[in-house]
Structure 1
Amino acid sequence: MARTEFYNDPDAPEPNSLVVAASAVVTDESGRVLLQRRQDNDLWALPGGGMDMGDSLPGCAVREVKEETGLDVEITGLVGTYTDPEHVIAYSDGEVRRQFNICFTARIVGGTLTISDESTELRFVAPGQLGTLAMHHTQRLRIQHYLERRSAPYLG
């Protein structure tokens, strides 16, 4: 299913759903950030996705990282909340989503890096190389907030 993201775009379609989601900034021992190239829009993104009815928000992030990367992680902190109504995601099946995302930090505790059917590539990226990757503004914002090492989570 194809996906198109809109941000602050007057031509964006009107949302018809609100989805609670979690994502995670996962780093390796060198401080590189784990990113996936998404199958549905060919953009680089943090692992993450929609919350299931049986999930907690941290549990959702752990599950999504495992599903999308093969890695087992432990949540270590909170980057922020991302609820900007100007961010709209349209899917080819007709869903137009406004997303409520909580972004966590996480450390690897096991697993094997494995590409899922949701991505075409996985890569640990050094902070200085992040600017070279095609990435939606909202993903870049989460990573920027993580790299700023804020004393309090972003609330937006």
Structure 2
Amino acid sequence: MTERPLRATVSLRGVLFGPGGEVLVVRRTTDEGWELPGGRLGAEEDADEGVAREIAEETGLDVELGQPVHAVAWRNDDDNGRFGVYYYCTVTERAVSLSDEHIEYEWLAPSTAETRLSGPQGEAVSNATEVREE
């Protein structure tokens, strides 16, 4: 049994594959780090609806939502609990309209996106790529 149970904010993100098989990554306004689009789940919000809403708010894209490909829990630098779920997603267009939360986006080959992102997000891209190839 865990000594200290995790109380966590839930973060939902999508590994978005474009029509040519590229993966969308976005650059945060706050620290200019790269990440997958998505965000926090609202109280009493359905997870599928939450991730689709967050992606639409951040990118303007309407996603075809697939299965979860990765889930991970951690504590951030401030010792706050986080729980992230990453979904396999596809989109039919590449025209992105960024929200104020991001300053830049790129469509990258999956292997390039995997290395650009942090550990759990890179792992999510790797897992989503395997799902895509099935």
TM-score (normalizing by structure 2): 0.80
After TM superposition, the structure 1 = structure 2 runs for residues 18-37 of structure 1, keeping only pairs within 5 Å, are 18-37=8-27
Which residue among 68, 75, 79 is the counterpart of 2:65?
A: 75
* CA–CA distance in structure 2, aligned partners of residues 72 and 145 of structure 1: 22
**1:12 aligned residue:** none
Q: Which runs of 5+ in 2 are unaligned?
A: 1-5
The residue type equivalent to 2:85 in the other structure is: I
Report whether the alignment pairs 1:66 with 2:48: no
Please state whether the residue corresponding to 2:88 is helix, strand or coil: strand
Report whether the alignment pairs 1:129 with 2:109: no
Which residue among 72, 89, 108 is the counterpart of 2:91?
A: 108
Is the Cα–Cα contact under 8 Å of residues 114 and 126 in structure 2 kept in the other structure? Answer: no
Q: Deviations for 1:60-117, whole angstroms, at most 9, x for unmatched residues?
A: 110110111111112122212222xxx3334xxxx64321111111222679511111
Is the Cα–Cα contact under 8 Å of residues 38 and 45 in structure 1 kept in the other structure? Answer: yes
* CA–CA distance in structure 2, aligned partners of residues 131 and 62 of structure 1: 21
| Structure (1 or 2) with the greater helix fraction | 2
The residue type equivalent to 1:69 in the other structure is: T
Task: Give, in angstroms, the shift of residue 49 of structure 1.
Answer: 1.0
| Alignment size in residue pairs | 128
Report whether the alignment pairs 1:118 with 2:108: no
Pairwise CA RMSD:
2.6
Is the Cα–Cα contact under 8 Å of residues 43 and 136 in structure 1 kept in the other structure? Answer: no
* CA–CA distance in structure 1, aligned partners of residues 44 and 18 of structure 2: 29
Q: Which runs of 5+ in 1 are unaligned?
A: 1-15, 151-156
Q: Deviations for 1:6-52, whole angstroms, at most 9, x for unmatched residues?
A: xxxxxxxxxx9610121111111111001101122222111111101
What is the percent sequence identity of the aligned residues?
27
